[in-house]
Every structure is written in C-alpha cells, then in structure tokens.
Structure 1
Amino acid sequence: MSDVKVTIDNIEVNVPEGSTLLEAAHIAGVDIPTLCYLKDVNEIGACRMCLCEVEGARALAAACVFPVFDGMVARTNTPKIVEYRRKNLQLLLSDHNMDCLGCFRSGNCELLKLCRRYGVDDTEYYKGAKNHSVIEDSSKSIVRDNSKCILCRRCIGACNNLQSIGVIGANKRGFDTYVGTTFNIPLAETSCVNCGQCIVACPVGALYEKDSITQVKEAIEDPDKFVVVQAAPSTRVALAECFDQPIGMEVEGKLSAALHRLGFDRVFDTNFSADLTIVEEANELVERVKGGGVLPMITSCSPGWVKFCEHYYPELIPNLSTCKSPQQMFGAVTKSYYADVMGIPVDKIVSVSVMPCTAKKHELGRDDQGTDGYQDVDYSLTTRELARMIKMAGIEFMKLEDEPYDNPLGEYTGAGVIFGATGGVMEAALRTAVEKLTGEELIDLDFVDVRGVKGVKEAEYDLQGKKVKVAVASGLANARIIMDKVKAGEADYTFIEIMGCPGGCVNGGGQPHVDSQVRNFIDVRAERAKGLYTLDKNAPIRKAHENPVIIKMYDDYLGVPGGEKAHHLLHTSYVNRGVNKQAD
C-alpha cells in the first residue's frame, strides 16, 4: 500500500493510504482526544470529541473514522474546535454522576482527564434533568452504574465485536437512552460469561468488578483464620502499571513482598498449579489419543470460555478437558495436601487468589468446584483490587525489595508461567504430552507456531509418524470460528486451546485500565506477554512434569496423574446452559 502526504497542524507527514485522520495525527505527534473510539472494538464516531477541521470538507470531521487523502490539510486544535470539545464535555457532565472522590476510576478516568485538559471544572447544564439510573449488581463478577455512563458504547463494542456475545446494548432513544440488557433482564440471568472485557473497555466508572477487598481484609484480621493467597502468572506483568510503571514490566518479587506485607499467612504462586494442570491435562490428552476418547480435546483453564461453551456449544461439552483451572486446582490442593502436611484444620484455611480475570469470581461458586464440602477458593481479587489494597495500606510498591514465594506451593517451571499468554497453555501442554506420546526427551521446548496475539493460530507436528494438529484461539469471537469448524465436522484437530479474552489472561477483564490513547496505538497484550516468555526462557526447569514439588506430591499424596485421588481433587464437570437451560 502506498503512502499519501497530509498536513496536520502545519506538520507534513507521509502516512499509509487508508489511514484515518486519528492515525495520521498520531504519526505526526499530534494527540486528538477520543472517548468512544477503541481500535478494533468500537469505531463509530459517536462521541464527537475527535472533531477536526479539514480543508474542503463540508462539515467537521470525526478523526477516528475519517480517511485521509493525498494533499489533505487538517487542523485539530483551532479555537472553534477547542470550544466544540469544551461544550461537548459540559453536555456529557450534565447527566453524569460527578461523585469523583467516591469513584474507583478517579485516578485514571478518561473523562476527568479530558475535563482537566480543556479546563472544564463546572457545567452550566448540570442543574437540568437527569436520566433515571440504577446500579445493576446481580452478576457475581460485574457491576454496572449507569449514573456514570457516558453512552460511548465501548462496552457494547467489546461484548459484540470482541466476544460475539451481545448481551448488552443501547435501550430506548434520545435523552432516555441507557446501556443494559434486553428487557432489563438481570445480567446474571443472561448468557454473560463474566469476562470483564466491558470493564476494561469502559473509559469511566460505569463498570467495575464485584469488590472482595472487605472480606479478604476481615479474613486476614481474624486470628482464627490461616489465610493463603496465590498470584496468577499474568498479574506479575501488569500490576506495576497501577503504580505508573511501563506496560508489561515484570514485578514478580515485589508482588510477593507486597502480599506478605498485607498480612497473608502464606504467599504462593498459581504457576505451581498451572504446572499441576499441565500434568493432569497432558495425561488426559494422551489417554484420549491412545484410548479413542473424545477429540479434539479443548482446554478448560478459562472460566469465561467454559461458560461460553456451556451456553453456545453445549453439544461440545464432552470435548472439554475435565481438569479444573489452575486457580481451582490450587485451592483444592491447599485444602487437602497442604492442610494435611501442615496439620492445619481445613475449616481454618481461607483460600484467596489474585487473578487477571473477573470470571474467576464466578468460577468460585460453580458446582463441582469444591472438595469434601469445602469450596476450593473462597475469594478472588483482580489485579486492580490488589493494587487498591496495596495503596490503602500505604505500601510504596516500587521501593519493595524482591521476595520469593513461600514453599512448597511456590515452586514453578517455565511451562507454568506462560499460561498467561495466548498459546501458553498449548505450548506448556505440548512440552509434556510430546514426551509422553513419544517416550523421548524433548530438546527444543519452544513451540513458536502457537505464540503471538493473532486471534486464531494453527500448527501441525509430526510425532514419530503420527500427525498432531492443534489450534489456539483467544477472544470468544475467534473461539466461534474454531468451534463452528468442530461442530460442522470440518476440523481435524487433536488439541485446542481457547482463552476467553483476546490475547489471553494478560489482557483479562481484571487487569489494569489502559487509556484508549495508549491502547489504540500500543499492543498491550504483546507487551505484557514479553515478560512471561522472558521468565520462561530464564527458568531453570521448563517442563511442568519436572517440577520437583509436583513429583513429590504425586509420590506422597496424589498417586498417579489421572488416578482416583487426583481425579477426585483436580477434575470437575460442566453444565448445559443452552436455550431454556441454566443461565448462571
């Protein structure tokens, strides 16, 4: 594609043909404000914050959707444009709940930042009529406060375009417009999968996760409770962003140190149970391949994906691996093996997780996710919630000295840590499954064909003459592509990895908010994933089945992978949530 020459605010640049004015301005080093625009998610030109003057155009141009042309001359910051933007902000504020001090987005609200940029600190329209709104909190994971909604529709775009679910939309018209479900059905009664992509898309405080901080703090302060916490792989490459550090900065040691200072009795690593998941999942795959079981086998680590499958592809539930997710496996092991070894009564243990995912909150209460009457995990915090806890405690996070995770459930291999990136579960599983299928040591551990943020990836491997074809999908719109092929009998895959969020857990619904001004031009998914692959590359052990603590746990407690005890603790079942079936 050839370049075209454009002039933006007297800056002449060459940009690819087909670029929008917004993209061209970015190349020119000019920042055009947006609210509704989110690259590949919501490109509707509705908020009008990006209006610019283009010579020869009959009207002001919405830069986010206006295509450039050779010789175009545009002005983005004239007095007329600035006044349009100020007036636009005033109108948005006229129907906005400006309880900024009580809003969890007050430190990184995109609306507030623009108000400061354009000097809008009050509005002459604020005393007018207000749209009636309520807080919708029926979901186990997500809360909507429409009093703070600015109708940018980014949440709708995420639900429709990224996830192909579409349980929310714009209801009514004109001044009465609000975002909600069809017929105001409670979110918990829809096919919402709790992925939280609507939350990370929202520029203001209209969407947020169900808060678990209070319950976790109460457990920590209870002298009769032994509170154990696990931290997921991708939290260590995102948490630093909440403390104004670069995207993707790896802070594993500081994360451990912060959790110790918050008062948790033991600080462990979900990477450990990711290794455990691989051992069980690879064993299950080998058994299906050799024993004529249901293929392709599909991973079950992502609770958003699992619920999506239950709603939209219930006939393919037998294809799901029966393995619990790493979060749940960790909880099960904590309240069985660890409790026995340490001599701690199970009813004294409170199991907490720190996850990049809002769907994990829903997963806690799923049927068949407990052992002997005890819930595997009691509370799940998002990365954002942990950041708030650290700030409330007055901990200067970036000044913390690195600390290791506690033993024995803090040991992990490189295979466990790459779970956070799309393709990571597949690669980790292949490192173990290939050795089990061939009986030979695997020398090259890097399955690069399944890496990267592409929505759908395929690869084929020759294992001693046996062809094994695999597929990886992230984001539920991409999952549909794979699942439709399987459903139609057009897929000859052996193993499929699906992650509910685009890019995998690094881009989960519980991860730190990133302004659209950044997300539109930097691939946050790739930046966070880099840190995980670096940890894997530098790990002394890179195969899950070689984790010495897991080997000992099987020898001393679980028996063999897939055996009776392991299956009782580490495997689960699923629910048909299709038409006229259970919703939540």
Structure 2
Amino acid sequence: MAKYMIIDGIRADFDQEKNILQVINGMGIHVPTLCYYSDLSIYGACRMCMVEDERGSLIASCSTPPKHGMVIKTNTPRLQHHRRMILELILASHCRDCTVCEKNQTCRLQELAARLELNDIRFPNTRKQHPIDDSSPSIIRDPSKCILCGDCVRVCNEVQHVGAIDFAQRGSEAIVTPAFGKKLAETDCVNCGQCAAVCPTAAIRIQTCHNSVWREIYNPKKRVVAQIAPAVRVAIGEAFGMNPGEDSIGKVFTAMRMMGFDAVFDTCLGADLTIMEEAKELAEKLERDAAASAGQAVNGGTKDATQDDASGKKVSFPLFTSCCPAWIRYAENLHPEVLPYISTCKSPMEMFGAVIKEYYKKQDEEEGRETVSIAVMPCVAKKMEAGREEFIRGGVPDVDYVITTKELIRMIRESGIQFDEIDPEAPDMPFSISSGAGVIFGVTGGVTEAALRRLVKEKNTQTLRDIKFSGIRGMEGVKAAEMELDGRTVRIGVVSGLGNADNLIEKIKSGEEHFDFVEVMACPYGCIAGAGQPFCHKVDKKERMKGMYKADSAASIKRSEENPVVYNLYHGGVLEGREHELLHVHYKRAEKA
C-alpha cells in the first residue's frame, strides 16, 4: 500500500523522501528555508521551514521524516508570524547595504524578506563587527552578512573534506571563521569556492576583477584576448531566461566582441592540447607498468608508480589528472604523497594561455601593443591558478585575468546587450576549431572519455559508443570502469568532490582499490557546477550535463588528435619543439604558513 500524508488538505504520496520538506517540495509548495541544502547533512538551525501538525505543534520539516497518515499545514497565521519573527531577528543583526551588495536580487534572505512582506526592522543591530577577509585570491569572507546557516561549514567539511572554516564562539558571539582567527589564505583552503556557491547571502563571495578587465578593454595599447571554458556555454544563458543546458557559446562570442574584446577563443582547444599530452603520459605509464610486471627495466625518468606505505608495503598509484587547480592545491596541502603521480600537464586554461601569449608575441613587438589574456571560467580556483609562480614566465603571467561566468554576466548586463536576442558567431582565427572531446571536459568523466578516445586503436563509431557506455558518464561522485587498451584491461576511476577523492586515495593506499588512471574534479558533478557558475539545483545541473554531451554529439570532430589546429600548433606552430616548456609543469608540496 502506498504511503501518504495530508498536506494542506491534499493527499501526497511519498516513498524515498528523507524528510517532510522533500514531500512538500514534490507537491510544488515552496516552504521557506535558509539552512537546508539537499546535498548536505540536516542542520535545522534557521527554523524557517517549520510546519504545523494536526495537534498544533510546530515541527521542522527539514529534519522530520514523513510518516504514513501524517497531517500537516504549511501556511497558517501562526506559521506566518513565526517566520516573519525569525526573519526579522536575522535581519536585525545583518548588514543592510542590500542595494550595493553583490548578491542584490539573488540573495535568499532578501528574497524571503520580500516574499513575507517584511518592511520594517524593529530591533537595533547589536552584533559585533568583524573585519572582511579578502586574503584569498578567489573568495572573500564578510562576517557582517553571515546568518550562521552553516551551509559553508558543512560543504567544506562533509563534501570537500578540507575543513578550512567552522563555527567559533557561542550565542550572540558565534561566527564562522578559520581556526585561531587565521585568514583564509593561511589555511588549507583549496579555493574551490563551494562555500560561496551554497552561501545564501554574500557572507562568502567571489573575488571579482571584471572592472580591471574593462580598463584593459578601454586601453588602446592593449590587445584583449579571451578564452571561454567549455562549461560556460551551458550555464550562462540561464541568467538571460534561457533553459539550463542550452548551448549559447556562439552568443558568448558575439557578446564579447560587442563589448570590445579583440579576439575570442574556445578553451576546448586547450582541452584538446591537454588530451594530446595527458594521453601520451597515460600510454607511457601503462607501458612502464607492463614492463615492470614482466620484470623488465622501467624506461624514462618518471617516478615508478609504486611507493612504500608506513608499514613498508608497496602501494601502486594511478596517474591522476591535473586539470583542476583546486584538486592540485588539495593534493599539495593534504595528500602530498600523490604529487609524483599527478600528470605534469598544465590545465587547458594554462596551456591555451601560454599558446596565446606566444602567438601574439611577434605582433605585439611590431605593433607596440601588449596582449592581455583573459579567461572566462566556471571555476573560482582558476583565479588562484593564474597567479601561481609556475605559470608566470619572465615576470608575465600566461593568463592575466580570470573572470567567472557570473562576472561575464555582469559585464553583458552593464553593456546593455540583449543576450537572448543576439545572433551566435564563431570563435576567431587561427584557433577557431576544437573537438567534441574538448567540450566534455566540463563534466565529470569528460577528461577520461576524451583520453580514451585518443588511446583506443579502433577509431570508429562503435568504439565511441563503447566508451560512452563504459560507466564513466553520469552524476555519481565516484565511478569506476574498465577498458581494453592494447590487449590490456585498464581500470579507470572518476571522482568529483574532494571528499570522494580523499576516500578513494585512502582505498588506493590501503590496497582496497587499484586504478591505472583517476580523473579528479573538485566540484561535485564537474565544472558545470563550478562556484563561478549561476547557482542552480541538481536537476538543472543534470540538464547542463546533457547540454555538454549534446554539444559533443553535434561536433564534427570527435577526437582531439583530429583537430587540424592542434596539428598545426605542433608542426610549424608555436609548440614545435617546445611542448614540454609550454604545456607541462611540476607541482610540489605546499609550504605551511
């Protein structure tokens, strides 16, 4: 017999729902919440989601499991009074610069105040003021806007296993902060920005630099060149009324030209370069492993993929991907033992940044101009990556500025461009071609799929289907698959979310799991859900993922090695004889502050 509840006089069947709130949401009723986030543990602090049961008791719908026959009401005079009072108390101790706040019109607190028609705050703000922490290259902490919902603490601890921030003090003195009053830059923060992504206010927000980009555009002595990451195409349109997952990369190219960018390119080309180099590394690793297992000498200067653990037992490590800067920082801070086994390939952004600077170097000298390289990314950790010393050559960074998808949205709006009405255009020459393999870098499993397309011998449609259905696609945080390469079964792992990466590394070290290749993305579901993207829930992230695969299906070139631009770069282009210099890097253990 189906289980059901009576909600506002209407029968509501339920099955797998964890709490009453999920049942209510399934009916199309939106109960106010401030601390509830379905991917995190239940916290139940804000009490905004209270509902009234048949006995007249108020219960928290987020933390109460549904029971068969339960009768509840979601909207009564008592509940309205309760919610308004809670909201008024929160606002009484909250910063009130809403009109100039970065989250104006996207703030959940502001949204609820308007919804509940809270027009007056009767209580003075007696909350202790704390300084803004802007020490991080990626995010800013503003405690005056914190409502103590705990979302940031839980995502940092539960999902990412970083623990850079937590609650301190008690009662009215409570604050979310790094331990011992440190600044964020002094902690193990990996700059993933997931705390900013879940923050309902602007207590944690993204460092922005789009105003600096405007100044560069207006400078006639600067050649402003931009690259746009794959995942941007399926999210940016949401801010302009388009559907989640709708590919709007052509409109992005048009809009950026209208804003004054001198050239716009697709970072998918950088992803193609990454695959050329990373697939080569994987092939070399597999060859070394095969030789070692056969008792032959291991060729090459790369470290053997085994390491002694604390007990002296041999641990076999896979080749880890290197595209995600937050993952790299996580490994440096918390798992330095895996650094020798991380690919030496730069990220697609940094590879393409180096190519762009080299390509325009001669023109800059002839014209007396300076090329400014801009990257539009879904990821806030890219801001940190661009400033790393490894990516600064001769005192000049390969990528000068990183702006997020949300920053580009601001720039488009500032320009008055009607994004949904403009016609799409193609990227500029000479980097106007990329492959479908480059596009799918934006989803978890995409790097792996692109690498497998490069390595398999049979380059046909059936092989593409075999890879597609091998188990590396999907929203799961941990995926495993096996593929036949050169007569050998290769075991592949795909993880998104650093907590999942942490767990997998521990299993590898214990011998519980063995992989030859592991793809790691810091953000759950991959770059489509990066902290620089417009906020959305899991259902829309799924649509974004579908949009990425749809773009791949529409691409005329499916494999990176088939891209003629890639061929030209290696043969007579800026990469000839300079692949190692421009496309590779070595990471080392982070120095503790």
2:84 corresponds to:
86
2:446 corresponds to:
424
Is contact 1:329–1:569 with CA below 8 Å preserved after alignment?
yes
Q: Which amino acid aligns with 1:215?
A: S
Cα-to-partner distance string for 1:145-173 (whole Å, 9 max, x where unaligned):
11111111111111111111111011100
2:261 corresponds to:
264
1:113 corresponds to:
111
Alpha-carbon shift at residue 440 of structure 1 (Å): 6.4
1:5 corresponds to:
4
Q: Which amino acid aligns with 1:150?
A: I
Alpha-carbon shift at residue 68 of structure 1 (Å): 1.1
Alpha-carbon shift at residue 377 of structure 1 (Å): 0.3
1:573 corresponds to:
586
2:504 corresponds to:
482
Alpha-carbon shift at residue 298 of structure 1 (Å): 0.6
Alpha-carbon shift at residue 513 of structure 1 (Å): 2.2
CA–CA distance in 2 between the matches of 1:261 and 1:575?
A: 42
Equivalent of 1:179 in 168, 176, 192:
176
* Residue 236 (str. 1) matches residue 233 (str. 2): yes
Cα-to-partner distance string for 1:115-140 (whole Å, 9 max, x where unaligned):
11111022111x24122222110001
Q: Compared with structure 1, are the counterparts of its residues 456 and 128 closer, same or farther at alpha carbon in structure 2 (3 Å cutoff)?
A: closer
* Residue 149 (str. 1) matches residue 168 (str. 2): no
Alpha-carbon shift at residue 186 of structure 1 (Å): 0.9
Q: Which amino acid aligns with 1:240?
A: G
1:557 corresponds to:
573
CA–CA distance in 2 between the matches of 1:355 and 1:573?
A: 23
Provide TM-score, normalisation by structure 1: 0.93
CA–CA distance in 1 between the matches of 2:208 and 2:12?
A: 47
CA RMSD in angstroms, aligned pairs only: 1.8
Alpha-carbon shift at residue 482 of structure 1 (Å): 1.5
Is contact 2:227–2:375 with CA below 8 Å preserved after alignment?
yes
2:98 corresponds to:
100
When structure 1 is superposed on structure 2, of 196-205 and 478-487 the one drifting more is 478-487
Q: Compared with structure 1, are the counterparts of its residues 440 and 111 closer, same or farther at alpha carbon in structure 2 (3 Å cutoff)?
A: closer
CA–CA distance in 1 between the matches of 2:222 and 2:116?
A: 51
Q: How does 1:376-387 map to 2 (within 5 A)?
A: 376-387=398-409
Is contact 2:224–2:261 with CA below 8 Å preserved after alignment?
yes
When structure 1 is superposed on structure 2, of 236-245 and 486-495 the one drifting more is 486-495
1:44 corresponds to:
43
Q: How does 1:200-279 map to 2 (within 5 A)?
A: 200-279=197-276
Cα-to-partner distance string for 1:355-398 (whole Å, 9 max, x where unaligned):
00100000011121133442110000000111011111111111
Alpha-carbon shift at residue 56 of structure 1 (Å): 3.9
CA–CA distance in 1 between the matches of 2:125 and 2:224?
A: 50
Cα-to-partner distance string for 1:406-463 (whole Å, 9 max, x where unaligned):
112231100000000000000001100223xxx7667422423100110100001122
CA–CA distance in 1 between the matches of 2:582 and 2:194?
A: 31
Is contact 1:332–1:371 with CA below 8 Å preserved after alignment?
no
Is contact 1:11–1:28 with CA below 8 Å preserved after alignment?
no
CA–CA distance in 1 between the matches of 2:148 and 2:338?
A: 37
CA–CA distance in 2 between the matches of 1:372 and 1:284?
A: 27
2:20 corresponds to:
21
Match of 1:101, SS? Answer: helix
Is contact 1:151–1:179 with CA below 8 Å preserved after alignment?
yes
Is contact 2:3–2:13 with CA below 8 Å preserved after alignment?
yes
Alpha-carbon shift at residue 343 of structure 1 (Å): 6.7
Equivalent of 1:288 in 285, 288, 292:
285
1:322 corresponds to:
344
CA–CA distance in 2 between the matches of 1:286 and 1:411?
A: 26
Q: Which amino acid aligns with 2:585?
A: T
Is contact 1:169–1:182 with CA below 8 Å preserved after alignment?
yes
Match of 2:345, SS? Answer: coil
Is contact 2:360–2:371 with CA below 8 Å preserved after alignment?
no
When structure 1 is superposed on structure 2, of 153-162 and 343-352 the one drifting more is 343-352
Match of 1:556, SS? Answer: coil
Alpha-carbon shift at residue 337 of structure 1 (Å): 3.3
Q: Which amino acid aligns with 1:375?
A: P
Q: How does 1:525-564 map to 2 (within 5 A)?
A: 525-557=541-573
CA–CA distance in 2 between the matches of 1:206 and 1:513?
A: 15
* Residue 35 (str. 1) matches residue 34 (str. 2): yes
Q: Which amino acid aligns with 1:321?
A: S
Q: Which amino acid aligns with 1:361?
A: K
CA–CA distance in 2 between the matches of 1:342 and 1:17?
A: 62
Match of 2:3, SS? Answer: strand
CA–CA distance in 2 between the matches of 1:74 and 1:541?
A: 56
CA–CA distance in 1 between the matches of 2:127 and 2:334?
A: 38
Cα-to-partner distance string for 1:517-543 (whole Å, 9 max, x where unaligned):
xx2xx4332111111100101110100
Q: Compared with structure 1, are the counterparts of its residues 469 and 346 closer, same or farther at alpha carbon in structure 2 (3 Å cutoff)?
A: farther
Cα-to-partner distance string for 1:180-218 (whole Å, 9 max, x where unaligned):
100111100111000010111011111111111121111
2:324 corresponds to:
302
When structure 1 is superposed on structure 2, of 370-379 and 253-262 the one drifting more is 370-379
CA–CA distance in 2 between the matches of 1:18 and 1:411?
A: 46
Q: Compared with structure 1, are the counterparts of its residues 18 and 25 closer, same or farther at alpha carbon in structure 2 (3 Å cutoff)?
A: closer
Q: Which amino acid aligns with 1:48?
A: R
Is contact 1:233–1:418 with CA below 8 Å preserved after alignment?
yes
Cα-to-partner distance string for 1:227-246 (whole Å, 9 max, x where unaligned):
10000000011111222332
1:445 corresponds to:
464
Cα-to-partner distance string for 1:239-263 (whole Å, 9 max, x where unaligned):
1122233222221111111111111
CA–CA distance in 2 between the matches of 1:374 and 1:406?
A: 24
* Residue 470 (str. 1) matches residue 486 (str. 2): no
Q: How does 1:316-395 map to 2 (within 5 A)?
A: 316-340=338-362, 348-395=370-417
Alpha-carbon shift at residue 573 of structure 1 (Å): 1.4
Q: Which amino acid aligns with 2:85?
A: K
CA–CA distance in 2 between the matches of 1:109 and 1:157?
A: 19
2:535 corresponds to:
513
2:301 corresponds to:
none
Q: Which amino acid aligns with 1:570?
A: L
CA–CA distance in 2 between the matches of 1:10 and 1:498?
A: 47
Cα-to-partner distance string for 1:328-356 (whole Å, 9 max, x where unaligned):
00110011135347876797110000000
2:477 corresponds to:
455
CA–CA distance in 1 between the matches of 2:532 and 2:78?
A: 39
Is contact 2:51–2:75 with CA below 8 Å preserved after alignment?
yes
CA–CA distance in 2 between the matches of 1:168 and 1:478?
A: 19
Q: Compared with structure 1, are the counterparts of its residues 66 and 291 closer, same or farther at alpha carbon in structure 2 (3 Å cutoff)?
A: same
Identity %: 42
Q: Which amino acid aligns with 1:552?
A: N
CA–CA distance in 2 between the matches of 1:93 and 1:574?
A: 45
Alpha-carbon shift at residue 42 of structure 1 (Å): 4.3
Match of 1:416, SS? Answer: helix
Is contact 2:33–2:46 with CA below 8 Å preserved after alignment?
yes
Q: Compared with structure 1, are the counterparts of its residues 200 and 297 closer, same or farther at alpha carbon in structure 2 (3 Å cutoff)?
A: same
The size of the alignment, in residue pairs, is 565
CA–CA distance in 2 between the matches of 1:346 and 1:454?
A: 51
Match of 1:535, SS? Answer: helix
1:138 corresponds to:
135
Provide TM-score, normalisation by structure 2: 0.92
2:193 corresponds to:
196
CA–CA distance in 2 between the matches of 1:10 and 1:137?
A: 50
Match of 1:385, SS? Answer: helix
Is contact 2:364–2:370 with CA below 8 Å preserved after alignment?
no
